[in-house]
Every structure is written in C-alpha cells, then in structure tokens.
Amino acid sequence: MTTETSRPPSGQLPLLMLGVGADPAAERGVSCPGELPPAADPDLVHRAERARATLGDRAFVLGHHYQRDEVIRFADVTGDSFKLAREAAARPGAEYVIFCGVHFMAESADILTSPSQLVVLPDLAAGCSMADMASYSQVEECWEAFEDLGLDSCVVPVTYMNSSADIKAFTGRHRGTVCTSSNAKRALTWALDTGSKVLFLPDQHLGRNTAVLELGLRLDDCVVWNPRLPLGGLDKESLDRATMILWRGHCSVHGRFTARNVAEVRERIPGVNVLVHPECVHDVVLGADYVGSTEKIISTIERAPAGSAWAVGTELNLVRRLATRNPDKTVVFLDDTVCFCSTMNRIDLPHLVWAMESLVAGQVVNQITVDPVTASQAKAALDQMLALP
C-alpha cells in the first residue's frame, strides 16, 4: 500500500478513531491491511532477527527515541526526527528505509532520501496529534486573512519539524523555514531579521518558550491563532501589535505536564533537577531547572554526576530507557501518571515483523510517498533551515 500526501480540499479534520478508517489528508492512517503476527507469538523476536538479517544492507531501520524498547533493539540508528531523516539520506545504498516513528517523520525521510529509496512506516495509524492540529486548508485560510489585512509581506512562516509535508511546503512557498527544538532560537532570530512578524506552526508552546525565554520577547508580544474561529479569534489591532503569531497546536504528551507536577516532585525528591522539553507549557518550563530538546535531555542525563536526581518531562519510553541506562542516577518521570505517545506506540514488534517479512517476500507495504511538487517546496524550507546562520 502506498499513501501519497495530497492537499485536503477544505474544512476541518473529521473525528477518526485511531487505527480505524482512512484519512489520507491527515497524519492519521488506517489499521494494518495485512496479517499481523500475534503479539504473544513466542517466535516473534527470532522472526524479527531472521527478517532483519535477510534484508541486510538493503534495509535501514530508524528508531525514534520515543519508541518501545522491543522496537528500538532492531534500530540501526536512534535519534530525533531530523537526525533520522538525515541518517537515511546518508545511506543511499539502502533500498528500504523502515521508519519506526510517526507519519510526518517518514514523509521527511521520503523528501530527503533519493527517489530510488522507499520509505516504509510499519503502522499507518502512527500519526502525530500535534501535526494534525494544523491542516493545509486551515493554514491557507490563515494566510489569506493575512493577505486581506496586508500583513503577508511582513510575516515569515516558521514551521516545527513536527508538521505534515503540506505545511512544510506551504512554508517553503512563502520563503519561511523549518525548525527543530534544537535550533528554534536561530530560526526565529533569522525570521525576525527577514520580516517583522512570525507565524509559528503548529506548536504554540515551543514558539512561546523560545520567543520569551530565548529571544527576550514579552508574553504580550505573542498572540494565539485559533484556526476554528473567524480571523483566528483575533482582531486586526492585536495582529498588528503582535510579533509572534502562534498556531493553536500542542503536543498531547508534553502538554500534560503541569506546574503542580514540578512542585510535587520537588517535595517528593529533595534536590531533584527538573529537566523538560520546550513543547511543555510555559509555566512548566518556567518552573524547571533545565529545558532542552530530546537530544539535549539525553546528553544532560548521560553527563550528569553519579548520585544526582532528575525528574524528566518528556515521553515515558525515553524516560524509562534513560533510567535503565543510568543506574548510578535517579531518573523519574515528571508526571505521576503513565503517559506514552499513543501514536508512536502503534509501532510494535508485530508491525515491525510484518513490515520486514513483507519486504523479504518482495512486497512493499505501507510506503510513504510525498508528491514531487510538495516535496520540492518542503525541501526548500528544510534547506533554509540547514542554511540558518
């Protein structure tokens, strides 16, 4: 099965139960069309090892940091979304790129790899709720409103890596840039040197935290564009005044942490260091000791002195892995309830085995393809990111 990114005609996203039904215009996919091995199959690990060995250098398996351990053990490389896409592009000899991540990541890999490489997402229902919060038609409507108000000439779009290929293409067409959580400060600095306002998509929290805590803007310089309301729920005056126009999107994992979680963990573990991702809400970031991207979180814990204690506000699979790999430190999850990225967790060993065994049998399943026009415009925005001063 091939899923091709195409522009939705118009309107809001309909409700769609995870893994049920089809929505090719969004980050959600259908449930697995093939016969999955049962999760209880005692031979599953051996089947995965056999399929992986048979594919050899023809396949390259990428594992995002938030994936389950059962999947990560088969990854040739682990990383955040941009690192993984670049790793795939650096291996043109790999015919199949098996992306254990979510849909927008596989799209980025398809954009950055050569046409002869095929990108496979083991479960098409592995989407990203944040990316889904900015649909192409909504963003086009927003830009048309800017044009009507004469704002389009001074607004530079900046989209987070966690967005669909359509939104990256929109950004490329309007001479904007993509950013990651590691280079958001540089991206915003460049954008505000290029224009006088930024439209930041789709994560309001990364945009706000970077603008206020790293660029020194005030909270009042930021407004939030709600795509479900006329003119984003704003008026011309507030848009004229604003420097940052933040899209009303958030990560359903990082958005769960609260300032109360921070206060409680400090009470529970005296001397604990609180380390959070910049997708967390502003109050949580303000209350933390450190804030950083996924890669920065990993390196901070690895370099921390033995005996130190850390409460980490990011996805639970990663926090558990950090705790296991750093037994000389105390590493705990910031929230007291379990919180995985449910869509990332769709990729499990049965799906990985199914995808690899299908490739061994000569059948390409769940291929992710971005159409050439969208891919070239999205690549312009990605290239701009690579050229950031």
Binding site for ligand SF4 (CB under 6 A): 66, 102, 128-130, 162, 251-253, 315, 341, 343-344
- DSSP letter, residue 318: H
Q: Is the CB of 18 or the CB of 215 nearer to ligand SF4?
A: 18
Q: Is the CB of 254 or the CB of 379 nearer to ligand SF4?
A: 254
- At its nearest, how many Å lie between ligand SF4 and the CB of residue 66? 6
Q: Is the CB of 251 or the CB of 359 nearer to ligand SF4?
A: 251
- At its nearest, how many Å lie between ligand SF4 and the CB of residue 316? 10
Task: Work out the number of other CB atoms within 10 angstroms of the CB of residue 92.
Answer: 11
User: CA torsion angle for 238, 240, 243, 249 (degrees, to 10)?
Assistant: 50
- At its nearest, how many Å lie between ligand SF4 and the CB of residue 327? 26
- Residue 92 tokens, joined: 């043109």
Q: Is the CB of 128 or the CB of 145 nearer to ligand SF4?
A: 128
Q: Which amino acid is at 350?
A: P
Q: State the Cα–Cα distance between residues 168 and 162, nearest whole angstrom.
A: 9
What are the residue ranges of helices labelled H in the chain?
44-55, 69-72, 81-89, 103-112, 129-132, 136-149, 165-173, 184-194, 204-209, 236-241, 259-268, 282-287, 294-303, 316-325, 349-360, 372-386
Q: Is the CB of 212 or the CB of 253 nearer to ligand SF4?
A: 253
Q: Is the CB of 133 or the CB of 265 nearer to ligand SF4?
A: 133
Indicate the length of the chain as a whole number: 389
- At its nearest, how many Å lie between ligand SF4 and the CB of residue 249? 9
DSSP state letters, 196-228: SEEEEES-HHHHHHIIIIIS---GGGEEEE-TT
- At its nearest, how many Å lie between ligand SF4 and the CB of residue 368? 15
Q: Is the CB of 145 or the CB of 344 nearer to ligand SF4?
A: 344
Q: Which amino acid is at 37?
A: P
Task: Work out the number of other CB atoms within 10 angstroms of the CB of residue 161.
Answer: 23
Q: State the Cα–Cα distance between residues 370 and 362, nearest whole angstrom.
A: 22
Q: Is the CB of 142 or the CB of 318 nearer to ligand SF4?
A: 318
DSSP state letters, 3-65: EEE----SSPPPP--TTSS--TTSS--PPP-S-PPPTT-TTHHHHHHHHHHHHGGGEEEEEET
- At its nearest, how many Å lie between ligand SF4 and the CB of residue 137? 20
- At its nearest, how many Å lie between ligand SF4 and the CB of residue 385? 18
- At its nearest, how many Å lie between ligand SF4 and the CB of residue 314? 8
Q: Is the CB of 135 or the CB of 358 nearer to ligand SF4?
A: 135
- Residue 48 tokens, joined: 């995965």
- At its nearest, how many Å lie between ligand SF4 and the CB of residue 68? 13
> Which among 65, 57, 6, 46 is positioned nearest to 341, based on CA atoms?
65
